[in-house]
């Protein structure tokens, strides 16, 4: 019995010894991990010095003094240079763009009192440190009260400083001082090129601080404006300008203001179409006057009113058809006369302005745009036609609003 027990114990010892010998031999023959190889655990096994931590163990790579593992790319590194530029422009302009709500007072039938009711909305941008906000005229048109939503979602009431419907520009002023707003960096539209990148920021459909990107599609475009005149030299862009974008800034890749997003023209009448912006050189010319005087004072012939272009065109007139000339004005003293009635009550045409300093004038719209290039006090030579005869008249331009 004892001999059997001894044999069993001896067999177990021999088996255990063979197993230990096999494990030791296998480990000895296993090759060392190559530098930079990744073992099954996924931890990087690089060359280690005394006390050097193993890559992938606790703590970010920056704290360990190591770069990110090969094959891994940070989110910022995946961005293109163009994307980084757009992000930077948007970041810098974040505190320069606001949301404007146009409100009208409506009589409450039950309480017999006037209640402010939202009647439209749009965007605007901070012009200076005095709290002036620039937007489109059509954004504030017919409004009685204006609420401005700031980037931090705070709402502040603003008053209307002045407007220029013919250029679709208006200026508001916040009724209280607000910290943290940043005026836009005003650039120039003089050297714009078709194809250059533009960024439009606004609040389309009430979604605040929405960004769209595109290019300058064309320059020098003319679009219909208020007051029976055309807004000329508009910037055409393929950056989306949807309802609510009106009045927001159009920026270049340096983050400079180059235009004010104004309208979209769509043959289908939908929100998709061609976008247009008032050039910043026009904005820079108009806004300081509104802030200073509450209105725009522009050069004008003085004392002369004109027949609307559509009426003149129906009568077959090519030029600015004079409606009336005020007595005592320089134009009256120079012999300019408007429409008159003969003994039979018929309305007859007298003077039509067909040129200014050699530039042809085919409508009042042309004359208005031509005068925009002069200063108050300049002397111009008008070409006047009456009953098929032409004459030249010199007029000193005066200021008018």
d(C-alpha 166, C-alpha 224), whole Å:
9
Q: Percent of the chain at pLDDT above 90?
A: 59
Model pLDDT, residue 75: 60
Q: Cβ neighbours of residue 185 under 8 Å, at least 6 residues apart? A: 254, 255, 256, 257
Residue 238 to residues 28, 59, 215, 265, 275: CA-CA distances in angstroms?
70, 47, 6, 11, 6
State mean pLDDT over 310-335.
Answer: 93
User: Catalytic residue at 138?
Assistant: yes
Q: With 60 as the cut, is the pLDDT of residue 71 above it?
A: no
Asked whether the CA dihedral 382, 288, 121, 250 is positive or negative, the reply is positive
Model pLDDT, residue 263: 87
Model pLDDT, residue 267: 67
What residues form DSSP beta bridges with 148? 100, 156
Domain 299-400 of CATH type 2.30.42.10: yes
State mean pLDDT over 275-284.
Answer: 95
Q: With 60 as the cut, is the pLDDT of residue 179 above it?
A: yes
- Model confidence over 202-215: pLDDT tens digits? 987 767 778 999 99
What residues form DSSP beta bridges with 396? 379
- Residue 266 pLDDT grade (very low, low, confident, very high; cuts 50, 70, 90): confident
At residue 233, what are phi and psi to the nearest 5 degrees? 60, 30
The yes-or-no answer to whether 94-106+113-174 and 185-294 have a common fold is yes
The average confidence (pLDDT) of the chain is 82
> Which range, 55-64, 85-94, 224-233, is most confident?
85-94
User: Catalytic residue at 168?
Assistant: yes
Q: Cβ neighbours of residue 288 under 8 Å, at least 6 residues apart? A: none
Q: Which of 93, 149, 168, 189 is catalytic?
A: 168
> Do 361 and 302 form a contact (C-beta atoms < 8 A)?
no
Q: With 60 as the cut, is the pLDDT of residue 254 above it?
A: yes
Q: With 80 as the cut, is the pLDDT of residue 251 above it?
A: yes
d(C-alpha 44, C-alpha 41), whole Å:
9
Q: With 80 as the cut, is the pLDDT of residue 308 above it?
A: yes
Q: Which of 149, 189, 246, 363 is catalytic?
A: 246
Distance of CA 167 to the CA centre of its chain: 16
- Residue 104 pLDDT grade (very low, low, confident, very high; cuts 50, 70, 90): confident
| Protein fold of 94-106+113-174 | Thrombin, subunit H (2.40.10)
Lowest pLDDT segment from 66-80, 191-205, 267-281, 357-371: 66-80
The continuous run of DSSP H or E covering 24 comes out as helix 2-28
Q: With 50 as the cut, is the pLDDT of residue 38 above it?
A: no
Q: With 90 as the cut, is the pLDDT of residue 125 above it?
A: yes
Lowest pLDDT segment from 33-37, 144-148, 183-187, 305-309: 33-37
Model pLDDT, residue 400: 85
Distance between terminal CA atoms of the chain?
A: 129
State mean pLDDT over 286-300.
Answer: 94
Question: What are the structural domain ranges in the chain?
Answer: 94-106+113-174, 185-294, 299-400
CATH code assigned to 185-294: 2.40.10.10
Model pLDDT, residue 43: 32
Model pLDDT, residue 54: 34
What six digits make up the tokens of 3?
């001999």
State mean pLDDT over 212-229.
Answer: 86
Q: With 90 as the cut, is the pLDDT of residue 25 above it?
A: no
Model pLDDT, residue 4: 53
State mean pLDDT over 256-271.
Answer: 80
State mean pLDDT over 120-139.
Answer: 94
d(C-alpha 350, C-alpha 355), whole Å:
16
Alpha-carbon dihedral 121, 122, 128, 132, rounded to 10 degrees = -30
State mean pLDDT over 113-135.
Answer: 87
Instruction: Decide which of 343 and 271 is more confident.
Output: 343
- Model confidence over 11-24: pLDDT tens digits? 554 555 555 444 44
What residues form DSSP beta bridges with 400? 298
Q: Which of 123, 132, 138, 365 is catalytic?
A: 138
Model pLDDT, residue 229: 76
User: Catalytic residue at 390?
Assistant: no
């Amino acid at each position: 019995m004892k001999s059997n027990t001894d044999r069993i114990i001896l067999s177990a010892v021999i088996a255990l010894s063979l197993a230990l010998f096999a494990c030791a031999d296998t480990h000895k023959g296993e090759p060392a991990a190559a530098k930079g190889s990744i073992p099954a655990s996924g931890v990087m096994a690089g060359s280690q010095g005394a006390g050097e931590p193993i890559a992938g163990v606790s703590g970010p790579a920056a704290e360990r003094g190591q770069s990110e593992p090969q094959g891994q790319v940070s989110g910022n590194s995946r961005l293109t240079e163009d994307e980084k530029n757009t992000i930077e422009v948007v970041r810098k302009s974040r505190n320069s763009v606001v949301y404007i709500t146009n409100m009208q007072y409506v009589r409450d039938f039950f309480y017999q009192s006037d209640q402010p009711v939202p009647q439209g909305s749009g965007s605007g941008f901070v012009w200076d440190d005095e709290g002036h906000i620039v937007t489109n005229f059509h954004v504030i048109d017919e409004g009685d009260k204006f609420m401005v939503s700031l980037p931090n979602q705070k709402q502040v009431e603003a008053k209307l400083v002045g407007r220029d419907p013919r250029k679709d520009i208006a200026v508001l002023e916040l009724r209280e001082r607000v910290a943290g707003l940043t005026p836009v960096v005003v650039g120039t539209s003089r050297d714009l090129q078709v194809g250059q990148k533009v960024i439009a920021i606004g609040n389309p459909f009430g979604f605040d601080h929405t960004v769209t990107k595109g290019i300058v599609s064309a320059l020098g475009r003319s679009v219909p404006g208020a007051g029976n005149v055309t807004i000329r030299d508009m910037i055409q862009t393929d950056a989306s300008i949807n309802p609510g974008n009106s009045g927001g800034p159009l920026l270049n890749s340096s983050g400079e203001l180059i235009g004010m997003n104004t309208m979209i023209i769509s043959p289908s009448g939908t929100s998709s179409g061609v976008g247009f912006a008032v050039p910043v050189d026009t904005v820079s010319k108009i806004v300081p006057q509104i802030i200073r005087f509450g209105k725009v004072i522009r050069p004008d012939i003085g004392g002369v009113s004109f027949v609307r272009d559509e009426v003149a065109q129906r009568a077959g007139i090519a030029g600015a058809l004079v409606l009336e000339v005020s007595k005592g004005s320089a134009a009256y003293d120079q012999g300019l006369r408007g429409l008159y009635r003969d003994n039979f009550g018929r309305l007859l045409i007298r003077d039509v302005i067909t040129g200014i300093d050699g530039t042809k004038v085919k409508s009042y719209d042309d004359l208005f745009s031509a005068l925009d290039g002069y200063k108050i006090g300049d002397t111009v030579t008008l070409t006047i036609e009456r009953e098929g005869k032409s004459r030249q008249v010199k007029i000193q331009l005066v200021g008018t609003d």
